[in-house]
Amino acid sequence: MQIERTDSKNLVVNGLPDGSRVIVDSENEKVYALNATAGAAWDACIGQTTLSKVAEDMRRIGDPSITDELAQQAVLELQEKQLVKTSGSFPKASRRAVLAGLGAVALPLVVSMTMGEQRALASEARSNPISDPPTSDGKWCDRPTAHVSHTSGDRF
Amino acid sequence: MSSLNQDQHDARSCRETVHQAPARSYESCGHCFGVSLFGFAIYVEAPSFEVMELLDRCVFPSVPRTDIASSCADLCLRVAQDAHEFRLYRDDCFVASAPRADQLMRDLIDCLDRGFVEGVRNLSAVHAGAVLLGDRALLFPGASHSGKSSLVAELLRQGAVCYSDEYALIDSEGLVHAYPRPLLLRNGGREQTAVLPFELNARVASSPAKVGWILSLQYEAEGSWNIQEVSQGQGLLSLLQNTPHVLADSPHIVGSFRRAAAGARCFEGQRGDWSDAVSRIMQLALAA
């Protein structure tokens, strides 16, 4: 089985002291947060590699107690988020085998957000977001707004 | 100077005419004052002394007032009055009108918040409550109505120092700066009251701090405290999910937020009522 990173030209990888990573993929307009286990797997997926080599590299650069099953789970997590691609099939690893390999190592986790989702959240990132209709360019109050009547009696 | 275009030159000339004014001397330019925060200049004008006192309370009350010409300001907030109503303008853009000036204050604070966040340079905002505990800042990013202001208010009563109940301002080094507008506290309903930190026996932070904790808390009315530690990467993601800046337009915010999250312990989960949450947060901070 071969494993390699997907061919995206505009990945910016932000490393954090706890081993986690935030990857910004401007080409596909996505942001990924990888915990330390997934981050170690990402780091191990340089060039074309194999699952056993990934596991070995993860043990070397991360936690020595990382098992092959946990490395496989991390690669699957990266594959699901389309950060790596694989050819061939994985050996079957039971959930029990994955959990048995945890110890002090966290389960691999990749959380993602699209740029579109981030843009939508940005427009809501303020108090009282409902009262103000957004403008087409995302700016606020570049033109006169409608009369706002105050019947609730906000007091100061 | 020769490399400046005309607009930049005019802007610089305007800045150079800004002088420190005697504290609260509205008479120097009628019922108006200026205030500059992190280089963002605001001009405020009112139709009377009484309305000016209201505006003075809302627009960064802890920051010294300056004389700023309206033509040189980054943001102009004006309240005008006719026989029937008070009208609020942002720059020359009508925003709202109301029979009483105090009914415009929520809109005025919205104008201030958004104008500042859109216009300030070299700082990135996160919609978050932020306080100083010890020598580290605690951030709890969250949506409107998630109880940020109540948590900030109670933490201030417990001895924390105020950064903001609305925006944590983060510089390129990842340090948090105060956004010193009044807290807006709800009394169970939609009504809000502007409260100054000193009214809670607290003060506004005067210097930046590293981030010690990022808590992404969901409020559950019947819920209890249940949080788990997450990676700093997830903490960074929560900052990106709660910033008013659009990442595609401002990619540099990732670097600022990465430096902020790099020294922090990050948690996600749910909280119940604010009194229990404050107690748990204080325990968390003291355990560090």
Encode pLDDT of B45-97 as tens digits: 999 999 999 999 999 999 999 988 888 999 999 999 988 899 999 998 999 99
B205 has a pLDDT exceeding 60: yes
Rounded to 5 degrees, φ, ψ at B111 are -60, -45
Judged by CB atoms closer than 8 Å, whether chains meet at B104 and A150 is answered as yes
List B228's β-bridge partners, or say none: B268
d(Cα A138, Cα A135) in Å, to the nearest integer? 5
ipTM for the whole predicted complex goes beyond 0.95: no
Domains and CATH numbers, chain A: 2-115 (3.90.930)
Mutation for testing the B interface, residue in A10, A11, A13, A16 having most B CBs under 10 Å: A16
For CA atoms A15, A20, A24, A25, give the dihedral sign.
positive
Q: Does B117 reach chain A within 8 Å, measured CB to CB?
A: yes
Both structure tokens of B128: 């978050």
d(Cα A30, Cα B60) in Å, to the nearest integer? 37
H-helix segments, B185-273: 232-240, 253-261
Nearest CB among A20, A127, A132 relative to B233 is that of A20
Nearest CB among A24, A118, A155 relative to B102 is that of A155
Q: Does A156 reach chain B within 8 Å, measured CB to CB?
A: yes
The predicted structure's pLDDT at residue A100: 63
A147 has a pLDDT exceeding 50: no
Contact A71, A40 (CB under 8 A): no
Nearest CB among B54, B90, B255 relative to A141 is that of B90
Residues 6 or more apart in contact with residue A81 via CB below 8 angstroms: A32, A110, A112
Measured between beta carbons, the chain B residues lying within 8 angstroms of A78 are none
- pLDDT per residue as tens digits for the range B231-246: 999 999 999 999 999 9
Torsion of CA B246, B252, B255, B259, to 10 degrees: -80
Which 129-148 residues of chain A touch chain B by CB within 8 A? 129, 131-132, 138-145, 147-148
Strands B183-186 and A21-25: unpaired
Q: Does A149 reach chain B within 8 Å, measured CB to CB?
A: yes
- The letter for the amino acid at B63 is V
B109 has a pLDDT exceeding 90: yes
In 3D, which of B120, B131, B213, B209 has the Cα closest to residue B164?
Answer: B131
For CA atoms A62, A68, A72, A77, give the dihedral sign.
negative
- pLDDT per residue as tens digits for the range A33-76: 999 999 999 999 988 999 999 999 999 887 888 889 999 999 99
Element (H, E) at B283: helix B274-287
Domains and CATH numbers, chain B: 6-119 (no CATH), 123-287 (3.90.228.20)
Judged by CB atoms closer than 8 Å, whether chains meet at B57 and A154 is answered as no
